[in-house]
Amino acid sequence: MLGGVAQGLADHLGVPVLWVRLAFVVSTLFQLAGVLAYVAFWVFVPLGSAAESPGLASATRRGLRRGSDEDAGPQSNRSTLQTAALVVLGVGVVWIVVGSDTVSTLVFPAVLAIAGFALIWRQADDRSLERWVRVTSGWQAALRIAAGTLLVLIAYAVFVAQLGGGLQSAAQLLAALVVAVAGALLLLGPWVVRLVSDLAAERRERVRSQERADVAAHLHDSVLQTLALLQKNAHDPATVATLARRQERELRDWLYGDRTPDDATLRSGLAADAAEIETTYRVPIEVVGVGDTDPDPDVDALRAAAREAMTNAAKHSGADRIDVYVEVAGAAAEVFVRDRGVGFDPEQVPEDRLGIRRSLVERMKRHRGTVDVRSAPGEGTEVRLVLPLVREPSSDGGRDTAPQGAEGGDA
């Protein structure tokens, strides 16, 4: 709860925050490494920023849904206590390790100095220049800076007094100068670093908002185009429905989607294929997925087979919608393509469709996959494609498998 460093690291590494805090405390035993690491992380690691899809971010801003910040209540209280306890523990550990009498003369001023630095550094740890100005303009802030500086000076004076007992020799004067400069750097350093990173963040934000404006303009164009087309085709319900659905899909992808490139994964590829077939044959195709996998020749074959199955269903079934379900779990990837159309008797398949089925089966077989077609006249058809995944499914566990979820950003 000091700088949120432990929390950030814990999020990044995916371990409980308590472990990270304990790690800091334990490593403090070795030459105060924990403290130094904490400070280093604090200064150099950028603050985590949440990247939400534009639709969700906007809904959060307008209070249409609850954002992330509000729910931290009781949890963070406990967390503060935890931090305080660990800090006390850390100080105790240092105390014991360093010993009470011999070096306490050095430890005490060191602690004072660290406290001073901490007070000043705290000021620099802010998101923006604005906040810096606001925080520093009050008398409280002035008091804090003064206190910090005073502490550092006292510590320095005590330190020097302990070492030499005076400033007579020129060498000592030089050393004092070096120490003073180093102190000044320490004082101003974090602020400068923070300022620079703030500038970078601002630049990034500007680029991002320009990007958004471009996309918004593009969307406006496409929405206007669609509306014009809708008016022209008002007499043809099928066209109207297709146009509206395509527009809806585009908007939905932009507002709530994770905007994965079409060929990046099995699921995004299938979704792209489905969208294309939907536009061509004017049958809505609903793609639902669980888990995902990166493309490779085998997965591409699965995708191609699924595409063929979707095309068949769209072309021949006469169903008013097609459901596609993709599941990548453990050792296999499965795709189900289901329609509630006319169906057929698998025993009496017309020659041309048999050909299509054979090519589907052959293709999957070449990649160790299987095809299973279930159908009966009047009951629709379901094609099940199974592809065993031979490689380590390790990418499954860490992979984010939410279909449309916005990515939680942690830096």
What is the binding site for other proteins (CB under 8 A)? 50, 53, 55-56, 59, 62-68, 71, 248, 252, 255-256, 286, 288-291, 321, 323, 325, 327, 329-330, 336, 338, 382, 400-406, 408
- For residues 123 and 191, is the Cβ–Cβ distance under 8 A? yes
Q: Which is nearer to other proteins, 125 or 327 (CB)?
A: 327
Map tokens 């939680």 to a residue. Answer: 408
Phi then psi for residue 286, to 5 deg, are: -100, 115
Q: Which is nearer to other proteins, 354 or 376 (CB)?
A: 376
Q: Which is nearer to other proteins, 69 or 351 (CB)?
A: 69
Q: Which is nearer to other proteins, 205 or 248 (CB)?
A: 248
CB of 261: closest distance to other proteins in angstroms? 19
Q: Which is nearer to other proteins, 303 or 338 (CB)?
A: 338
CB of 399: closest distance to other proteins in angstroms? 10
CB of 25: closest distance to other proteins in angstroms? 25
CB of 348: closest distance to other proteins in angstroms? 23
Pairing mode, strands 322-329 and 285-290: parallel
Pairing mode, strands 381-388 and 285-290: unpaired
Minimal CA–CA distance to 37: which of 85, 77, 3?
Answer: 3
CB of 233: closest distance to other proteins in angstroms? 19
Q: Which is nearer to other proteins, 68 or 137 (CB)?
A: 68
CB of 56: closest distance to other proteins in angstroms? 6
What's the distance, CA 224 to chain centroid?
A: 33
CB of 374: closest distance to other proteins in angstroms? 10
CB of 404: closest distance to other proteins in angstroms? 5
Q: Which is nearer to other proteins, 53 or 83 (CB)?
A: 53
Q: Which is nearer to other proteins, 92 or 330 (CB)?
A: 330
Classify residue 378 as left (phi > 0), alpha (psi -120 to 50) or beta. left
Q: What HEC string does the chain produce?
A: CCCCHHHHHHHHHCCCHHHHHHHHHHHHCCCCHHHHHHHHHHHHCCCCCCCCCHHHHHHHHCCCCCCCHHHHHHHHHHHHHHHHHHHHHHHHHHHHHHCCCCCHHHHHHHHHHHHHHHHHHHHHCCCCHHHHHHHHHCHHHHHHHHHHHHHHHHHHHHHHHHHCCCCCCHHHHHHHHHHHHHHHHHHHHHHHHHHHHHHHHHHHHHHHHHHHHHHHHHHHHHHHHHHHHHHHCCCCHHHHHHHHHHHHHHHHHHHHCCCCCCCCCHHHHHHHHHHHHHHHHCCCEEEEEECCCCCCHHHHHHHHHHHHHHHHHHHHHCCCCEEEEEEEECCEEEEEEEECCCCCCHHHCCHHHHHHHHHHHHHHHHCCCEEEEEECCCCCEEEEEEEECCCCCHHHHHCCCCCCCCCCCCC
Q: Which is nearer to other proteins, 119 or 324 (CB)?
A: 324
CB of 397: closest distance to other proteins in angstroms? 8
CB of 187: closest distance to other proteins in angstroms? 36
Q: Which is nearer to other proteins, 108 or 254 (CB)?
A: 254
